[in-house]
Structure 1
């Protein structure tokens, strides 16, 4: 449509005085430029919206809790985790992560994820737990928490190493399907750092918190070492 308008403007200008022709050409250029700029603005606005296609929707509450799943689910869990924690990976994510995601998607399970930075000093230099936690909340806001969550554990760095930089976390997010610029901006700005710190402080003060991972069903500790615990809770 923009090309047609340009041709019409140029055709209309032919056969008239130079001044009139130049005026019309300038007007056509302005129209085209406005259309292009408008398209860019719309594209960026759409890119920053939560993106469809994620495994399940999430809501980031004001205190930084990431809520995944239906309020009508049969079981609700509170999961406390640190993306550097090897026990979170080996005892919870690796054996049960996919099944939990399926149960959330099916409406059988609701999970309140509490992302902590307990192990923030266990990388060299320090800071990876906080960077990863902030990025996870940004991913949740972008509608791709499940994919980003799984990717961080699949590629979990070893304690004592450097962990991933902000740029590397942004790249992990891109590969997980997060295309909006807002995600990158929030990762690099540490937008949710205060929420991650707050979650960590609150967990430390809770009598039910037993380190990472802690999985609670109400006030009851869930024994994730016991086979079949997830199916018993969800009835799946």
Structure 2
């Protein structure tokens, strides 16, 4: 091979190498652009969903008759305030109602206490994506709108699904409402999720107040470490 031929071959290789490098740079550039675009779009979608959720919560319908800045339903009119934070999927809440529910009602009947029930949803992640805690809290709010809070509250605990299950669907929540004397208006509210946003708002507010578990029971603002019937009676005085 002549010297000139070798030089031309070397030059050709250099040109090909330069072209290959340009192609690699182009691929890298467009890959980077695509990744950045994807992340930007994903971020905008995520922001939009979050903003939508915040907006839904901010504009959540508040059930009529609520107390304590719209976070609770009051039962009784006694001088001592008892705040009860409950999640309808919480098995310990069920246990609390079985053990201490009657005591609370006796204290109400004796006009010693005003019980403020705060239905919250801290166990939504325990219902396989169905958000049962939120939906149950929204349903009890719909029952309260028709003056059936305590009746439906009791029905929900009597029919409590297991933690970690799908919970009860809307049809079952409506069926249980019928046993408490609730009709079409209640059914429509449950199907529409009318008060689900309110349930989320109440849960957020309870977190700001330091409620980290359920049941949480306070007597005149003081938390009861163990809200047994005797402890309730003693704290009320």
**TM-score interval (norm. to shorter):** 0.5 to 0.7
Specify the alignment match of 1:174 in structure 2. Answer: 178
Q: Helix, strand or coil: the match of 1:228?
A: helix
Report the Cα distance in structure 1 between the residues aligned to 2:109 and 2:187, rounded to whole angstroms.
Answer: 26
1:19-30 alignment, distance < 5 Å: none
Quote how far apart the aligned CAs of 1:225 are. Answer: 4.7
The Cα offsets for residues 148-201 of structure 1, whole Å up to 9 and x where unpaired, read as 1111111110112111111111111110222x3211111111111121111111
Rounded to whole Å, the distance in 2 between the matches of 1:185 and 1:99 is: 34
For the residue of structure 2 that corresponds to 1:93, the secondary structure is helix
Unpaired segments of 5 or more residues in structure 1?
A: 1-57
Which of 219, 222, 226 aligns to 1:220? It is: 222
Cα distance in 1 between the residues matched to 2:186 and 2:102: 24
Identify the range of structure 1 (119-128 vs 135-144) with the bigger mean alpha-carbon deviation.
119-128
Instruction: Quote the residue 2:83 is aligned against.
Output: 78
Query: Within 2, Cα distance between the matches of 1:227 and 1:147?
Result: 21
Cα displacement string for residues 80-102 of structure 1 (whole angstroms, at most 9, x for unaligned residues): 11000111111x11101122123
Residue pair 2:85, 2:117 contacting (<8 A) in 1 also: yes
1:67 to partner: Cα distance: 1.7
Flag the structure with higher helix content.
Answer: 2
Q: Is residue 66–residue 114 contact of structure 1 (8 Å, CA) maintained in 2?
A: yes
Q: 2:74 aligns with which of 67, 86, 93?
A: 67
Contact kept, 8 Å, 2:80 with 2:220, in 1: the verdict is: no
> Residues 42-92 of structure 1, C-alpha deviation per residue, up to 9 Å, x if partnerless?
xxxxxxxxxxxxxxxx9334634212211xx032111111000111111x1
CA contact (8 A) 1:83 1:132 kept: yes
| Contact 1:130-1:196 at 8 Å conserved across structures | yes
Runs of 5+ in structure 2 lacking a partner?
1-63
Q: How does 1:77-156 map to 2 (within 5 A)?
A: 77-90=82-95, 92-156=96-160
The answer to whether the Cα contact below 8 Å between 2:88 and 2:156 also exists between their aligned partners in 1 is yes
- Give the drift of 1:234: 4.1
Distance 1:102 1:183, change over 3 A: farther
TM-score w.r.t. structure 2 length? 0.67
Q: Is the 8 A contact 1:77 1:215 kept in 2?
A: yes
Q: Which has the larger radius of gyration?
A: 2
Kindly tell me the number of residue pairs found equivalent between the two proteins: 173
Structure 1 window deviating more from structure 2 (124-133 vs 81-90): it is 124-133
Cα distance in 2 for partners of 1:106, 1:186 equals 34
